[in-house]
Chains A and B, each alone.
Chain A
Amino acid sequence: MDFQVVVLAGGSSKNLTPLVSKELPKPLLPVANRPVLSYVLHQLEQNNLKDLIVVVEGEDTALVVGAWISGTFIDRLHVEIAAVPEDIGTAGAIRAISHHLTAKDILVVSGDLVSDVPPGAVAATHRRHDAAVTAMLSSIPVSGPLDSGSSGGKDKAKKLGRYNIIGLDPGKQFLLHIATGAEIEKDARLPKHILRAVGQMEIRSDLMDAHMYAFKRSVLQEVLDLKDTFQSLKEDVLPYLVRSQLKSEALSNRTPQGEENGNEKVTSQNNQVFVSRILANSSTPSFHDHSSENPDGSAPTRKTHKCCAYIASSGSYCVRLNSIQAFMDINRDVTGEADHLLTGTSSDPNNNIGPSPKLGTKTTVGPHCMLGEGSEIGDKCQVKRSVIGRHCRIGSHVKVVNSVVMNHVTIGDGCIIQSSVVCSNVQLQERVVLKDCQVGAGFVVTAGSEYKAESLARKEK
């Protein structure tokens, strides 16, 4: 269908330290024991998009990610890994691979998006309106309940910062205004000429940009060439396109007319004008056409391009993994309500081999939990709403509530882990109490220590 898919897998992320590290880049962060990138790739595979370009920041990270992808999806997807320098931003990443892009439209998906919205919907909306860019909008995910109250205040502040102001036309099809949380302090400025052209604008703050975009390739390449300083698709390119949709200066969105030479040119051009007038008169006029018409109705002088929005239906699940809270929420949701995302995702070949988890006596494992293979849990343990990775050794009398424990973790007896994230190869000695903590990889927590709302990481040498 003439679409090319680019997956922006990022690399390191400052929000998610200490969970990410050199060995475990962000795209491979496990959600319900599967790397988060696998959800995106699996969804694309299900929708029959088999030729992808995955962009990763940093050479080493690219090697790690590439190795994983070729291991898991070896026959099913044809993936090209492109490594770009770090901190180049999403727009910079597209700029770097711009010579690889050949199709008419590009579908840009963020590698940390976990959703069940079919990408075909965004693509179909894009084609139907012949838009320059189509963005997918979904309702802001409700943050999960926190067990302790102390970090509630911290998260509320985070939530306010994530506000987005999105302006839509009355038909909820076109994007009129988009402003991300960072820019909004007290007032939002709306462009007047767009408002005058449309007449009515609906402003919503309950939608967020899900970072799945469909771009017209020529438009995207032109904007990136024109504006060198643009770093981020979400914060620079998209608002620029939305602001300039009625006044696109350099963007050429008209197909070249009159390619024949000779005296046939005039008549054929006349005919084409005739035909296009019939077609234009029949379709429902959008405000783009109104604003670009001259008062006497002759051919439009100002070029316009359309920015469409696809609003995901309320029943679908769409969350981005860009904070620790989001990480925990996604883990909880994927094992809980949204477990349809799990069915059919490929399991690593390693998963099939290996003994199944062993549970001790009087150990309770609540619903919506996930236990990786090779894990052993001792006696009288309680596991509630948690995800435990592979090859873990959990002692007895351990309480794991609302947490994520990754692979190869050793947890001593009598530990209490609540709302925390414990990365791989961590050793927790006896009677450790963790609440709202994040323990980085390879850390050793000494016996009897209590930590609340802290981030423990091994110092990088």
Chain B
Amino acid sequence: MKQPPQKKDGPPVASSVAASERGVDRPVEKERKKDLPPPRMQFDDESRVDKAKRRSLLNQPEARNRVELFRHLPPHKNGSQLPYLESKFFELHEMHPSVYKVGLQYLTGDTSGGNARCIAMLQAFQEAIRDYSTPPEKTLNRDLTSKIGGFVSFLIECRPLSMSMGNAIRFLKSRIARLPLTLSESEAKAALCSDIDRFINEKIVLADKVILRHAATKIRDGDVLLTYGSSCVVEMILLYAHEIGKQFRVVVVDSRPMLEGQKQLRRLVAKGLSCTYTQLNAISYVMHEVTRVFLGASSIFSNGTVYSRVGTASVAMVAHAFHVPVLVCCEAYKFHERVQLDSICFNELGDPDAVSKVPGREDVNYLDNLTDKQKENLQLLNLKYDATPSDYISVIVTDYGMIPPTSVPVIVREYRKEYLLI
């Protein structure tokens, strides 16, 4: 039963009323519209797709042969958008060059990973704010907010936002809205830039350092640790534990088509850790010798569901079956008030052609010679994220400590208001 959520970030108070009527929400929504990013589009709604096409900067690719179940998700913007965007390089007046550069990096996949994307975006916004000057007869609050909104819609077109980025944007917009009107323009800009710096330092850098210390206490000598894909926090934990002298082995599990684990493997091996590399199909064969599983997350929802790279749910499930504890390491700024029960209603589609190709093996091209008639019956699906139920997770390591998955809504409720008000 599909319950498509219409907005990315519901108002914090009304989150408990999960299936609220749209009529009741409308006036509340309108008040909070300035705080929220624009409502997320359902791509099977024809009229809104057409409206968005007219407004968008990129050429939307035609919806060809998509899987029925995932038709409400935005189609993948593959590299074919790049020439179009490049040819308009000098014509995009409203775009700041650093925001444009970050957008291009998202589009081509040069930058990936929740923390990195969030940091890159915030640093680009910092530069944009520094170069910003208020046009006459406009207030800084409103104009800058609408400019940031423009940047955000450009970034969304390049690649859909991750939850961490959504929270960061909400923070930034609330800071702009709360600027006292008595400040001069340069003071306001300096205040915003220092706020962004503080956000990055406190929510990401310091949070990571706290997570490192907590998680390292859970690693004992002789452990065999399993990690999936490439999460920057987990990598830092492993390197830190190695530095403080713990003896352990690492099993790096990877999956097609992104093969993200290979980059992490290279970095771990370069530092001297002894690693084993395997793919997801071998997870149940490897799990019997593993003592702990460390996973990263893109976001954690209020019911304790972990939203992370596709394949994480399988790893957690197999670990649970083998009675291996699963530790999810995630900074608290990635928590979200939403509740998601499955991986279908909200996800991200990747490049479908990547599924049919194997890098480095040109001879594996069995799907290239299909006739058009045959191609009509074949639908390629490349999902990027999946949702891991909270039953499979033992503990979540955050900068507020090590909490069980059921405590996530508490953190969201208690600490979210606090950081919005600082």
Binding site for B on A (CB under 8 A): 1-3, 47-49, 118-121, 123-125, 127-128, 130, 271, 274-275, 278-279, 281-285, 293, 295-297, 313
Contacts and interface: CB of A to CB of B under 8 A. Distances in A.
Contact of B104 (A1, A2, A128, A281): A128
A121 B100 contact: no
B31 interface: no
A123 B110 contact: no
- From B89, B105, B201, residue with most partner A Cβ within 10 Å: B89
B111 A1 contact: no
B372 interface: no
B365 interface: no
Contacts of B105: 128, 283
22 contacts: A49-B90, A120-B87, A121-B87, A121-B89, A123-B90, A124-B104, A127-B97, A128-B101, A271-B200, A271-B201, A278-B116, A278-B204, A279-B111, A281-B116, A281-B230, A281-B263, A281-B267, A282-B112, A282-B116, A283-B110, A284-B110, A284-B263
Interface size class of B (residues with CB under 8 A): 35 or more
A285 B205 contact: no
Contacts of A48: 90-91
A265 to B, nearest CB: 14
Given A2-B97, A271-B201, A296-B271, A278 B90 contact: no
A300 to B, nearest CB: 13
A279 B85 CA distance: 24
B113 interface: yes
Contacts of B421: none
A115 B86 CA distance: 16
Contact of B119 (A1, A119, A130, A275): A275
Nearest to B91: A48
Nearest to A286: B110
Contact of B83 (A2, A295, A313): A313
Given A47-B90, A120-B90, A279 B201 contact: no
B201 A127 contact: no
B208 interface: yes
Given A2-B97, A279-B116, A281-B116, A274 B104 contact: no
A284 B89 contact: no
Majority-rule SS of B interface residues? helix
A282 B97 contact: no
- From A3, A48, A282, A313, residue with most partner B Cβ within 10 Å: A282
B270 interface: yes
Contact of B89 (A120, A274, A313): A120
Contacts of A284: 109-110, 263
A121 B85 CA distance: 8
B113 to A, nearest CB: 4
B87 A281 contact: no
Nearest to A297: B270
Contacts of A279: 111, 116, 119-120
B86 A121 contact: yes
B271 A119 contact: no
A398 to B, nearest CB: 44
B87 A118 contact: yes
B60 to A, nearest CB: 20
Interface in B89-107: 89-92, 97, 100-101, 104-105
Contact of A120 (B86, B101, B119): B86
A120 B88 contact: yes
B240 to A, nearest CB: 12
Contact of A283 (B85, B86, B91, B111): B111
Contact of A282 (B92, B108, B111, B208): B111
A123 B270 CA distance: 35
Contacts of A1: 89-90, 92, 97, 100
A181 B163 CA distance: 53
B117 interface: yes
A279 B101 CA distance: 14
A459 B91 CA distance: 49
A270 to B, nearest CB: 8
Contacts of B270: 293, 295-297
A285 B270 CA distance: 14
A3 B90 contact: yes
9 A-B pairs with least C-beta separation = A120-B89, A282-B116, A124-B86, A282-B113, A118-B87, A121-B86, A124-B89, A128-B104, A48-B90
Nearest to B263: A285
Contacts of A275: 119, 200, 204-205
Contact of B100 (A119, A127, A297): A127
Nearest to A272: B205
Given A121-B83, A283-B116, 19 more contacts: A3-B90, A119-B90, A120-B86, A120-B88, A121-B87, A121-B89, A128-B108, A274-B205, A274-B208, A275-B119, A281-B232, A281-B235, A282-B117, A284-B109, A284-B110, A285-B263, A293-B270, A296-B271, A297-B267
A128 B111 CA distance: 11
A282 B232 contact: yes
B334 to A, nearest CB: 14
Contacts of B312: none
A127 B104 contact: yes
- From B88, B90, B108, B111, residue with most partner A Cβ within 10 Å: B90
Given A128-B101, A313-B83, A282 B90 contact: no
Interface string B158-187: 000000000000000000000000000000
Nearest to A284: B110
A285 B230 CA distance: 14
A127 B124 CA distance: 13
